[in-house]
Amino acid sequence: MLFSILLGHQPDKFVKKIDNQTKERIRGKLLKLQEDPFPSEVERIEGYKGEKIFRIRVRDYRILYFVRYEINHIFVAKIDKRSRVYD
């Protein structure tokens, strides 16, 4: 079963600004998440109330997302460099 990927405002804006090579890497990772929202390298992020937020790495970048099983959606909450993504 495939999940739909929905980007929030910040991830959408961020992806439009980055270089094409990085954009393609992030796009590839998101396409893999559609098939398997919890690959072996995924980790849960602590400290967020109400949602189970997960992160996945793409080189120096991190994608933070949560999954809604009842509607088969993955919501991408934030994409940024490692040093800024957890702020």
In a domain, 86, yes or no: no
User: How many domains does the structure of the chain reveal?
Assistant: 1
Average pLDDT, the chain: 91
pLDDT, mean of residues 52-78? 94
Q: What is the CATH number of the domain that holds 54?
A: 3.30.2310.20
pLDDT of the residue at 29? 95
Is 5's pLDDT higher than 80? yes
pLDDT of the residue at 87? 73
In a domain, 47, yes or no: yes
In a domain, 28, yes or no: yes
Range of the domain at 76: 4-81
In a domain, 63, yes or no: yes
Q: What is the DSSP string of the chain?
A: -PPEEEE-HHHHHHHHHS-HHHHHHHHHHHHHHHH-SS-TT-EEESS-SSS-EEEEEETTEEEEEEEEGGGTEEEEEEEEEHHHHT-
Instruction: Give the pLDDT band (50/70/90) at residue 8.
Output: very high
